[in-house]
Amino acid sequence: MGRIVKTHSTYIEGLIDKLRNIASDPRIQTITPGVIGQTKNKNEKLILRISRETSTGYKLIARKGKCYQEVFIVGQLSIEEMKSLLLN
């Protein structure tokens, strides 16, 4: 099971619960939520999508309402496995 690094005092609503589900996969080592920002568009539900692959895993973008937050995942997963985790 991976660990979630909590370095910020603010997270998008529902993000930590979703990250706990992802962290329960044994191939995940660390999940680090990053910068929060504002967008022009509005999403009603929490959406997680893969932004890009990094040297150690993946960078995700979480969006809800008019906010977005970067999330960095360190782990040994293929892109298909990562997409499957995000759907659960």
pTM for the whole thing? 0.89
Q: Is the dihedral of CA 7, 20, 58, 15 positive or negative?
A: negative
> How much of the chain exceeds pLDDT 70, in percent?
99
Q: How far is Cα 24 from Cα 67, in angstroms, rounded to an integer? A: 25
Residue 79, pLDDT above cutoff 80 = yes
44-53 pLDDT, tens per residue? Answer: 899 999 999 9
Q: Token pair of 6, please? A: 């909590």
DSSP bridge pairs for 53: 58
Q: Which residue has the higher pLDDT, 72 or 5?
A: 72
11-53 pLDDT, tens per residue? Answer: 999 999 999 999 999 999 999 999 899 999 888 899 999 999 9
Kindly report the length of the chain. Answer: 88
Q: Token pair of 23, please? A: 């962290």
Going from N- to C-terminal start, the domains of the chain cover 3-87
